[in-house]
Amino acid sequence: MNVSEQIRRAVERSGTTRYAIAKETGINESTLSRFVASGRGLSMPNADRLCSHLGLVLTTKAGKARKGR
């Protein structure tokens, strides 16, 4: 599962409406709805806001990190 899918799933499982999440994060409601419902992309600043709001943290799996990049 990629990062976008994880964020979508977290939004859906949050128990909070998209409207409330949009208001609390400052993300346009239509932008959030398109991202969750139709799989459209999300800007990095908006992804950061959602992750912060939902308590999501990006980590690497053991043995999966690339060195030298």
pLDDT (tens digit per residue) in 10-60: 999 999 999 999 999 999 999 999 999 988 889 999 999 999 999 999 888
Q: How far, CA to CA in Å, does 7 sit from each of 11, 16, 54?
A: 6, 14, 8
Single out the residue of 16, 11, 13, 6 nearest to residue 31, CA to CA.
11
Q: How many domains does the structure of the chain reveal?
A: 1
67 belongs to a structural domain: no
68 belongs to a structural domain: no
41 belongs to a structural domain: yes
61 belongs to a structural domain: no
The answer to whether 26 and 53 have CB atoms below 8 angstroms apart is no
pLDDT at 8: 93
pLDDT band at 65 (very low <50, low <70, confident <90, very high): low
Instruction: Supply the range of the domain harboring residue 48.
Output: 3-54
User: Alpha-carbon distance 42 to 48, whole Å?
Assistant: 10
The answer to whether 40 and 51 have CB atoms below 8 angstroms apart is no
pLDDT at 69: 58
